[in-house]
Structure 1
Amino acid sequence: MDKVKILSKYLPDGAAPLISRWIDYFKCDFKISKARNTRFGDYRPPQKGEGHRISVNYDLNPYAFLVTTVHEFAHLLTWKEHQGRVKPHGTEWKKNFKRMMQPFFDSHIFPEDLRFAIVSYLENPSASSCSNITLLRALKKYDKESASSTVESLPFKTVFRLKDGRTFQKETLLRKRYRCLEIHTGRLYLFNPMAEVYPLQA
């Protein structure tokens, strides 16, 4: 099947042709991956006879999928320019991330509210877009409706489960994270406010 047609299932309208060209230009093995709780995507440089490899989680909404894809291609370009001699999320990567996002701004791919959040994030992008709460909130607005919620949206003392089946109770807010009690073990864990969970009861 044509790459553009496949990518169009995961990306916003108008974004697939450029991503397809990047895959061809960089001779990149681009994989649409299963969902991962700790990352939206990753980049692997050439090794052991293999070329550049990028994977992006299949279950992201189109805008999150695009931001993650550009994030990883910025790693690829930075590696090609510096052969791993610079920090993974250093100045060089940040410069390339901004530059590679620009065509999508020029083409008005993003809604205005999301464009504003991304531009703000790009002033000093972090290692993971899912660690930037402001950007993650903006992206979450475009998720499909589901039975899941974010930890910050739940009332205190709500019991919730994770995808792996473990259950927790939301306890207190500590600075920027929520302290939650694991029901089975009695251990306390800190949760990102935007962590995806499934409420069971209030």
Structure 2
Amino acid sequence: MDKVKVLEKYLPPDAAPLIGRWIDYFKCEFKISRNRNSKFGDYRAPYGGKGHRISVNYDLNPYAFLVTTVHEFAHLHTWNEHKQKAKPHGTEWKSNFKRMMQPFFEKDVFPADIKQAITSYLNNPAASSCSDLTLYRSLRKYDAPKEDVHTVEKLRVNAVFKLKDGRVFRKGEKLRKRFKCVEVSSKRVYLFSPVAEVELIDG
């Protein structure tokens, strides 16, 4: 099947042709991956006879899929220019991400709130990666509704929640940007992102 037709299933349709051209131009292996809780996408530099490799989670909404794809291609482009000399989310990567996002702004692919969040993120040198919460929250608004899924920040203090792997935690106080939560069985303390998705047990 034509790669653009496949990409149209995951991306805003107007974005698919350009991403298809990037895959060819950069001679990149582009994989649509299973869900990974720890990351939306991944870039691997050429190594051991393999070329550039990018993978993006299959279950992202089209706007999140596109932002993640551009994020990873910006890593690829930065590696081509600087190899290991550039920091992963340093000024070189930021500059490439901004430039590579521009065609999609010109095509008006994004809703206004996501476009504003991306622009704000790119103009904020303190934001070190796409874990930027404002951008993440604006992208999440376009997810399909999920039953029984809550984010940690929406739970009250002392609420008990469960992860996909079955581990159970009790929510505690906020420490700077993350929430201190205690695993019920081991009493060990873990720090959770405000936007981590969990299942409420007792809240």
TM-score scaled to structure 1, two decimals?
0.95
**1:5 counterpart SS class:** helix
Residues in 2 aligned to 1:22 and 1:79: alpha-carbon distance in whole angstroms: 15
> Which ranges of structure 2 fall in alignment gaps of 5 or more residues?
none
2:69 matched to 1:69?
yes
Measured in 2, the distance between the counterparts of 1:5 and 1:127 equals: 33
CA offsets, 1:1-25, max 9 Å, x none? Answer: 1111111111123111110110011
Return the offset for 1:127.
Answer: 4.4
The structural deviation recorded for 1:105 is 0.5
Deviations 1:83-126 (A, max 9, x none): 22222222111110000000010000000011101110111364
SS at match of 2:46: coil
Tell me, yes or no, if the aligned pair for 1:168 and 1:183 is still in contact at 8 Å.
Answer: yes
Q: What letter is aligned with 1:91?
A: T
Alpha-carbon RMSD across the aligned residues, in angstroms, is 1.3
**What is the one-letter code of the residue matched to 1:7?**
L
Alignment of 1:48-197 (within 5 A): 48-124=48-124, 126-129=127-130, 131-147=131-147, 148-197=149-198
- How far apart are residue 167 of structure 1 and its match? 0.9
Aligned mates of 2:101, 2:144 — CA distance in 1? 24
1:198 CA drift (Å):
1.1
Larger mean Cα displacement after TM superposition, 68-77 or 84-93: 84-93
Gaps of 5+ in 1: none
Total equivalences in the alignment? 201
Alpha-carbon shift at residue 75 of structure 1 (Å)? 0.7
Letter in 2 for 1:169: R
Identity between Structure 1 and Structure 2 (%): 65
